[in-house]
């Protein structure tokens, strides 16, 4: 996914820059451009199914905003993620290199001290050098200690959870998954417990380098992500926003009160929440920078 995506960004950027140079004062929307550089927004959904989108299957009606985007924009129906797991897919998206080349082939744990190798160049680093304001919001999962933190990987602003929201306890009842029992005690002569055994850690919410909430309240995360995303778009131009959603990764949080036992649909409720979040961001972008913003949902 990363290689095709980087090539697409390069082609789009070159086209817009060429168009602006040969036709000063003219934009694709016919108005005076706010910036001669294209703004970029990448929205990455986590664990979403192909059939979850109405534009793909037609049997679900939970994603009207995304379906409208698919109808008005360009669809890539044979577009593949570089990996089926969290960290490798994100590493490839941000570097344009497969896991065997960038060194990320497995998920990082809450106890991991490493992350995306520091000699890898991220898309954010490239765009930041080109004068872009860069922001990452949501799930990072590419290392959170030291220089592996997103604040040191090209992002001017970061707000989100450093790994998956099922990797530690939260303050949402019933969502302490997976269970992390205390490590068993052993004598100094026999140490046979698994190396990955660790005590349960409360899930942290970061804003830049500061933990602002621990444990995390999952029921309010979508609203916070939407607010921070719209604020990052308003900060200035040109901008690059990388929004890595928690949807549709488990645990699913019931944000809509069930009307009765027969119509409980936590998956559908989370799909609608995700769709509304994307719709809110698109509406904000359309109001301030529609003529020169490239919005990608994958």
Domain ranges of the chain: 39-177+196-297
Question: What pLDDT was estimated at residue 5?
Answer: 52
Cis check: omega of the bond before 124, within 30 degrees of 0: no
- Cα dist from 124 to 71, 94, 137, 163, 263, whole Å: 29, 8, 13, 19, 43
Show the low-confidence residues of the chain (pLDDT under 70). 1-35, 173-200, 255-264
Active site residue ranges: 86, 141
Q: What is the rounded CA–CA span in Å between residue 82 and residue 90?
A: 9
Q: Look at the pTM and tell me if it is higher than 0.75.
A: yes
Q: What is the rounded CA–CA span in Å between residue 213 and residue 171?
A: 10
Domain 39-177+196-297 has CATH 3.40.720.10: yes
Give tens-digit pLDDT for 62-120: 999 999 999 999 999 888 889 999 999 999 999 999 999 999 999 999 889 999 999 99
Question: What pLDDT was estimated at residue 171?
Answer: 74
CB atoms inside a 10 Å sphere around CB 51? 11
Question: What pLDDT was estimated at residue 173?
Answer: 65
Contact 163, 142 (CB under 8 A): no
Question: What pLDDT was estimated at residue 1?
Answer: 47
Question: What pLDDT was estimated at residue 185?
Answer: 54
Contact 202, 247 (CB under 8 A): no
């Amino acid at each position: 996914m990363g290689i095709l995506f980087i090539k697409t960004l390069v082609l789009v950027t070159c086209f817009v820059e060429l168009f602006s140079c040969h036709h000063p004062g003219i934009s694709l929307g016919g108005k005076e451009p706010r910036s001669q550089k294209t703004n970029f927004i990448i929205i990455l959904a986590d664990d979403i199914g192909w059939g979850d989108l109405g534009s793909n299957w037609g049997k679900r009606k939970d994603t009207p905003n995304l379906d409208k985007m698919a109808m008005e924009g360009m669809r890539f129906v044979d577009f593949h993620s570089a990996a089926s797991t969290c960290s490798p897919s994100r590493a490839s998206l941000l570097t344009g290199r497969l896991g065997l080349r960038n060194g990320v082939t497995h998920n990082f744990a809450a106890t991991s001290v490493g992350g995306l190798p520091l000699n890898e160049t991220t898309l954010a680093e490239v765009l930041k050098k080109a004068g872009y304001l860069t922001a990452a919001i949501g799930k990072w999962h590419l290392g959170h200690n030291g220089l592996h933190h997103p604040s040191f990987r090209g992002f001017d602003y970061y707000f989100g959870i450093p790994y998956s929201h099922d990797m530690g306890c939260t303050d949402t009842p019933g969502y302490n998954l997976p269970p992390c029992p205390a490590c068993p005690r052993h004598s100094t002569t026999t140490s046979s417990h698994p190396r990955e055994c660790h005590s349960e850690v409360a899930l942290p919410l970061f804003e830049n380098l500061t933990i602002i909430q621990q444990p995390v309240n999952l029921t309010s995360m979508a609203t916070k992500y939407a607010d921070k995303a719209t604020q990052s778009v308003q900060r200035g131009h040109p901008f690059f926003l990388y929004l890595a959603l928690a949807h549709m990764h488990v645990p699913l949080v019931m944000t809509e009160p069930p009307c009765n036992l027969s119509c409980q649909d936590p998956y559908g409720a989370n799909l609608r929440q995700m769709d509304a979040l994307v719709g809110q961001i698109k509406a904000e972008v359309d109001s301030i920078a529609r003529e020169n913003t490239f919005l990608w949902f994958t």
